[in-house]
Structure 1
Amino acid sequence: MRKIYLIILLSIFTVSITNAQQKQTFAISEGNFLLNGKPVQIHSGEMHYSRIPQPYWRHRLKMMKAMGLNAVATYVFWNYHETAPGVWDFKTGNKNLAEYIKIAQEEGLFVILRPGPYVCAEWEFGGYPWFLQNVPNMVIRGNNKEYLTATKAYFTELYNQVKNLQITKGGPIIMVQGENEFGSYVAQRKDVSLEDHKKYSAAVFQQLKDVGFEVPFFTSDGSWLFEGGALPGALPTANGESDITKLKNVVNQYNNGQGPYMVAEFYPGWLDHWAEPFPTQTPEETVRLTQKYLDNQVSFNYYMVHGGTNFGFTSGANYDKEHDIQPDMTSYDYDAPISEAGWATPKYSALREILKSGETPAVPEKIAVITIPKITLTKVVDLADLKAKITPVINDSPLSFEQLNQGDGYVWYSKRFTQPISGKLELNGLRDYAIVYVNGKKVAELNRYYKKYDCEIDVPFNATLDIVVENMGRINYGSQINANNKGIISPVIINGETITGDWKMYQLPMTTEPNLEAYKNSGKINRPTLYQGTFDLKKTGDTFLDMRDFGKGIVFINGINIGRYWSVGPQQTLYLPGCWLKKGKNNIVIFEQKNETIQKELKSIATPILEDLRPEKGL
């Protein structure tokens, strides 16, 4: 009987959304979610538009619908849209949020919007634009004028994109989240009073209302953190809570003694860091908890139902006392029901069996997969050749990325010594990864994750010290989110002496694919090197670049940065969407930082390698 009741409710939910122009209502009232006045359960999945190539949005949304879900939740990434101070992009490619929402509605899904301004999400800086750190007196996630002025500008721009997509205007947006997991931040930042924390969260919530959002609001926190995160006028939801009694008790406590009850982040998998094991969860575990929620009328949102990929420099890093930071991998597979490449996993099939109804569509066909047996790398160029054409910034001491007005990529720090010096080189302010050279010869690799901040060094008379530094992603979670400068952010010390005077900094943001046409082959072992090659295709399809023979770096395909690789794993492949390939000639450029051997070719394979750990040598 109960299953028939659920099928009827889901049928109402499905039929109601199919007509985009139909006047509908959604409310939180009488202890329920009410769609057109009738109680309904939300069966949602989190899926981020920025982590999926735009041509694949519809396929992934169809996969969600075919799994038996009735809503999609997505964060909005502030730094994805404000590309420079006051410069906004909500239209280009993957940034077209309004189109994503419209497609979701066309596919019969409601939308839950999670605008932050802080999102976490294993995303660069938790969604904040890096340049906020250059604003005087600004305190990220704090109750101060400069920060709240910036958040108001962001919310205003966002609202202008989605205002007509709220359910009140005939669109699919049924709920908007106020802030994000703020209770966790309150618990971490005991140096700030609860009163000030509450003033901040209330101010941000008021901004969302002031710009015009008019659908119901909710908050999202661990069930033991509602005191810091709950907001009057917003439904509290409990992330990761499997104890139904505890869930209902804590929601009742902060919601006038009634529901509805929702787990806004139900984890069917977990996030992944470089140099750490790939976490997994069995289909049986996920099904068991899903059934528990269904049996107890608890709404839920799978985080993630489909993770996708941290393309380019979008991956962030968790703050961790043991490692200082834990950089997030390029793959955001998350062991989710829908894999990184959009495949139905055993977990997906098992969940579909308990979620589907008579209205559930068939599972879409899998996007074609190809392999590329051989990609020949015909050009091998020392990064120093590109550096030679860059005008350096010169300063008495090293400058951070932010001081150089640079967000991502790499900075090459260089210092000429007129007198010899030797001893311990200390880079306690390294953010995050560096290779050190003396007169062009590699001396050491320093690494924030392994807390390796020093090495022995011998600089002879009239020699050059070079330090090539990579930003591996700003902290997206933890108390140190306000300490997110990159590069070298403290004095360089050798043998106890602070090294000053005419530091040269060559900026290599690599926001676009390096053009190597004018360069001759010059690459050498143990030097930062750029590779270029071409390959021809008679047909296109998804594939996975096999990076197991390489060390550390990034890959561009036809001008698109598809992400970072690092030999430590567990990720050893890079997902290459077929929609970014072309019939005929395709171009590849690889920036390889370590270059322990000269590479002549690489290949692609048909399945990803995400569970192959290879600890860094000597660490």
Structure 2
Amino acid sequence: MIRLLIICLTLYTCKISTSSTQSITRNFSIVGNDFMKDGQPYRIIAGSIHYWRSLPQDWKDRLTLIKKLGCNTITTYIWWALHEPEDGTFVFDKPEYDFISFIQLAQSLDLLVIVRVGPYITAEVDLGGFPYWIMKRQHIAIRRPNEVYYQLIDRYFDQLIPRLTPLQYHLGGSIIDFQVEDDSDVPFISFDDTHSYYGYLRDGLIKRGIKSLISTLAAPNIISLRKAIIPNTWTALEYQIQHSTPDALALLRKHAADHNPFMVMEYYPGWIDYEGQSHHTIDSEQFAKGVDIIFSLNGSVNFYMVFGGTNFQFTNGGDRVLTYHSVITSYDYDAMIIECGDAHQTKFKAVRDVIGKYVPLPPMPTPLPSPKGLYGTVQFNSRAELIENLHPFNVLHNIDVPIQFEYLNQSYGYILYSTQLTEFTGPPETLLLPWMQDRAVILLDGLLQGIIGWTETDPIALINLHPIKTSPNPRLDILVENKGRCCGEIPDLGCSFKGMKDKPWLGLKQLGNWTITKLPMDDQLSQQSTTFNWQTIPPGTSVVSPSFYRSTFTINMSQPLHSFLGTDNWGHGFITINGFNLGRYSEKGPQRTMYIPAHILKQGANEILVFESDRRQPSFSMGERNMTFMDHQLWTN
């Protein structure tokens, strides 16, 4: 009898243990039109944050504030070009691009993760996330079935996906969904080709071990939805606050009646800022009201962006509809967390109050802005003219026809095309560049003649050159800048080649015998600049030719603070501090300050290097050309 009792107790204990194990099985799935987390209905409240748009030292602060806002999930793209910068060269070990650590950090803060693997990601980055070198591949066609394109995707996914597979939720990680591609309403690509392509990406994830949910993205219109919806995936929506949420849901249900939760994967608190246009903002209460409507219809949401951050270096993209526009350095997006990591002083609270209506949140005041470093005004009195300091850069001589960036194996920066004119002594003649992108500074013997290109008011690549009386054989220099390859809804690659091709014309004569100087302005620039011939500039001097400027400023505190640097009185160029490229500045606006992360600064002397290609107002003297540290952003009116 005692033995029987022991057996019964053992069996009961085993049953309890088995039941307990089953009850804690990790699973994230879809049942009907609901997300289910571990067997319970779940509402995704997510925010987009991109690992490359802030420094790793700041990731925890940003993610913690996202959690405090009320989010339970983050979303991030994986940017192909960062991880295969050159053909067949994979880079996954750079700390600033370590998405594995970023995802694991999110999990440590109890945040789930949606990973958007592309390969096309938009994100307002150069070429929409594609590496520049794919443009050189013969017979390639992107975002549709194409053997060359598929081979490159497979090679990339073979490297990428195994790194993400162990991080899936059901395996103990935090990733609950993988989005393939991005905007589906691509012109000139058929429904059949889109379905075949999306299916190839879906199957590529599955065969590499992805068992999580797989999603696509669509705008709330018939064409986009018909393209995005394919078997064994679910489709999320993207739209701005002006769009009717009830109408978007009704259209989604018309095309995906079941097994497709209602989620707005991109709900925008602001918008993209382009050079020369206004800074976009959206009223905080209006945006929060839109979020409330989504939640009231049992929807999930992802704020694109919850934290925008910064397009450091030359990582910004561009967009072209009728004319080309370059995305600015700041990716602030008028988000709930602004560029420097502070809470938006009205939008953070407005959105958090709405979230608190649907999930329990502890009372919390809006966090106050963090202290900023006010390091004074930097005066520049040391200059190195670009044309006189080309020796540390790679130069190609005796080139008959100009070569584009991509065929020079250069992704970013500038290229200088130079040739010698002969007997240029008559009346002014028209210089025509048959094909040039994006922006060219034209000089004769170092004297500025004008600016032409896509980024100017009149995007025509011609200009009148005036002979120099004292120089019948002047040197013609054409400094071409890549302002960012097209990133929006790109069905092909034609608009994204940079630099010059074909021989320019001066009057009726074609110009050949070019010298080409590659100016990537990369992480070697700090060392290269030590070899420049630096000249002291008297305070009253006005300088207009492309030049570098340098100075230093001193920080007395042992732990420097974030700051902003004003760029008023400067034209077009970029800024580095202690070798770190903050990004581009432009007198066209709307951005008037550059964000400076604390972690690139140090106690003691800090070096600042500014490159300026040109400016509209040459009357400014060097005495007026300074930069002042500030504790806030500035935008043009």
TM-score w.r.t. length of structure 1: 0.90
Deviations 1:465-512 (A, max 9, x none): 11011000000014465111101134312224432x211110000112
Instruction: Report what 1:342 is aligned to.
Output: 341
Residue in structure 1 matched with residue 172 of structure 2 by the alignment: 170
How far apart in 2 are the matches of 1:489 and 1:72?
A: 43
Task: Write the letter of the residue equivalent to 2:510.
Answer: T
Provide the secondary structure at the position in 2 that maps to 1:83: coil
Classify the secondary structure of the residue corresponding to 1:445. Answer: strand
Counterpart residue type for residue 466 of structure 1: D
- Counterpart position of 1:31: 33
**Identical columns (%):** 28
Aligned-residue offset at 1:181: 1.1
Q: Which amino acid aligns with 1:219?
A: T
Deviates more, 1:409-418 or 1:354-363: 354-363
Contact 1:42–1:299 at 8 Å: present in 2 too? yes
CA contact (8 A) 1:51 1:308 kept: yes
Helix, strand or coil at the partner of 2:285? helix
1:275 and 2:276 aligned: yes
Q: Which runs of structure 2 are paired with 1:92-103 in the superposition (5 Å)?
A: 92-103=94-105
**Residue-pair matches, total:** 583
One-letter code of the match for 1:372? Y
Which position in structure 2 is the counterpart of 1:485?
497
Shift, 1:563, TM fit: 0.4
Whether the 8 Å contact between 2:415 and 2:481 is mirrored in structure 1 is: yes
Q: CA deviation at 1:41?
A: 0.7
The answer to whether the Cα contact below 8 Å between 1:247 and 1:261 also exists between their aligned partners in 2 is no
Q: Give SS of 1:593's match.
A: strand
- Cα separation, 2, equivalents of 1:137 and 1:95: 31
Q: Name 1:510's counterpart in structure 2.
A: 521
User: Given the alignment, which residue of 555, 576, 582 partners 1:556?
Assistant: 576
For residue 458 of structure 1, the aligned residue among 457, 466, 473 is 466
Deviations for 1:184-216, whole angstroms, at most 9, x for unmatched residues? 21xx22xx4432333222222221222222100
Q: Is the aligned partner of 1:132 residue 2:134?
A: yes
The alpha-carbon distance between structure 1 residues 498 and 93, as it changes in their structure 2 partners (threshold 3 A), is same
Question: CA separation of 1:288/1:365 partners in 2, compared to 1, >3 Å: closer, same or farther?
Answer: closer
Q: Show the counterpart of 1:404.
A: 408
- What code does the residue aligned with 2:400 have? D
- Superposed CA deviations along residues 219-265 of structure 1, whole A, max 9, x for unmatched, are 11101111122222111111117434333333333334454111111
Q: 1:228 to 1:174 in 2, by over 3 A?
A: same
Cα deviation, 1:564-590, whole Å, max 9, x if unaligned, reads 000010101100011211111211111
Question: 1:393 is matched by which residue type in structure 2?
Answer: L
Instruction: Give 1:608's aligned residue.
Output: 633
Asked if the contact 1:430–1:490 (Cα under 8 Å) also holds between the matched residues in 2, the reply is: no
Cα distance in 1 for residues equivalent to 2:432 and 2:531:
37
Contact 2:381 2:549 in 1 (8 A): yes
Worse overlay, 201-210 or 111-120? 201-210
Query: Is 1:531–1:591's contact at 8 Å kept on the other side of the alignment?
Result: yes
Q: Which amino acid aligns with 1:398?
A: P
**Contact 2:413–2:521 (8 Å) recurs in 1:** yes
Q: How does 1:141-152 map to 2 (within 5 A)?
A: 141-152=143-154
Letter in 2 for 1:350: A
Is contact 1:148-1:204 (8 Å) kept?
no
- Structure of higher CA gyration radius: 2
Which of 487, 490, 496 in structure 2 is aligned with 1:476? 487
Does the aligned pair in 1 maintain the 2:443–2:449 contact within 8 Å? yes
Pair 441,244 (structure 1): closer, same or farther in 2 beyond 3 Å: closer
Where does residue 317 of structure 2 map in the other structure? 316
Preserved CA contact (<8 Å) 2:343 2:367:
no
> Does the aligned pair in 1 maintain the 2:420–2:475 contact within 8 Å?
yes
Deviations 1:19-51 (A, max 9, x none): xxx751100122210000111111111111110
Match of residue 547 from structure 2: 529
1:250 aligns with 2:251: yes
Number of the residue aligned with 1:434 = 440
Return the offset for 1:426: 1.6
- Bigger mean CA deviation after superposition, 122-131 or 89-98: 89-98
Q: Helix, strand or coil: the match of 1:381?
A: strand
| Aligned-partner SS, 1:84 | coil
Q: Secondary structure at the match of 1:425?
A: strand
**Aligned partner of residue 88 in structure 1, secondary structure:** coil
**Paired letter, 1:209:** I
Cα distance in 2 between the residues matched to 1:198 and 1:504? 47
* Structure 2: distance between partners of 1:286 and 1:342: 20
Are the equivalent residues in 1 in contact too, given 2:375–2:554 (CA < 8 A)? no
User: How far does residue 175 in structure 1 lie from its aligned partner after superposition?
Assistant: 0.5
Aligned residues of 2:122 and 2:489 also touching (Cα < 8 A): no
Q: For the residues of structure 1 that align with 2:581 and 2:418, how far apart are their CA atoms? A: 27
Matched, 1:87 2:89: yes
SS at 1:443 equivalent? strand
Kindly report which structure 2 residues correspond to 1:104-503, keeping only aligned pairs within 5 A, or say none.
Answer: 104-182=106-184, 184-185=185-186, 188-189=187-188, 192-224=189-221, 225-240=224-239, 242-257=243-258, 259-321=260-322, 323=323, 325-345=324-344, 346-356=346-356, 357-358=359-360, 360=362, 366-394=369-397, 395-420=399-424, 422-449=428-455, 450=457, 451-459=459-467, 461-479=472-490, 481-483=492-494, 484-499=496-511, 501-503=512-514
Match of 1:586 in 2: 606
The answer to which of 507-516 and 75-84 deviates more is 507-516
Q: Secondary structure at the match of 1:174?
A: strand
Secondary structure, in 3 states, of the residue corresponding to 2:584? Answer: strand
Equivalents in 2 of 1:359, 1:263: separation in Å?
A: 22
Q: CA deviation at 1:353?
A: 1.6
Give the aligned residue type for 2:440.
A
Gaps of 5+ in 2: 1-23
Structure 1: tracts of 5 or more residues without a match: 1-21, 614-619
Q: Is the 8 A contact 2:117 2:179 kept in 1?
A: yes
- CA shift for structure 1 position 556: 0.7
Question: Which residue of structure 2 lines up, in the alignment, with residue 574 of structure 1?
Answer: 594
Q: Displacement of 1:599 after TM fit?
A: 3.6
Aligned residues: CA RMSD: 2.0
Structure 1 stretch displaced more, 381-390 or 312-321: 381-390
Q: Verify the 8 A CA contact 1:310 1:330 in the aligned structure 2.
A: yes
Deviation at 1:314, TM superposition (A): 0.5
Q: Distance in 2 between matches of 1:124 and 1:116?
A: 14
- The Cα of 1:598 is off from its aligned counterpart by 5.0
Q: 2 CA distance for matches of 1:391 and 1:112?
A: 42
1:545 aligns to what SS in structure 2? strand
| Cα 1:23–1:372 shift into 2, 3 Å | farther
Matched letter for residue 584 of structure 1: G
Deviations 1:378-430 (A, max 9, x none): 53100123214445223211110011111100000001123437421122422
What code does the residue aligned with 1:355 have?
I
State the AA in 2 paired with 1:409: G
Which position in structure 2 is the counterpart of 1:18?
A: none
Please list, as runs of the form range in 1=range in 2, the aligned pairs for 1:45-64 lying within 5 A after superposition. 45-64=47-66
Distance in structure 2 (CA, Å) of the matches to 1:381 and 1:315: 27
Q: Deviations over 1:307-338 (max 9, x none)?
A: 000000110001121x2x11000000011111
Worse overlay, 106-115 or 236-245? 236-245
Residues in 2 aligned to 1:121 and 1:447: alpha-carbon distance in whole angstroms: 24
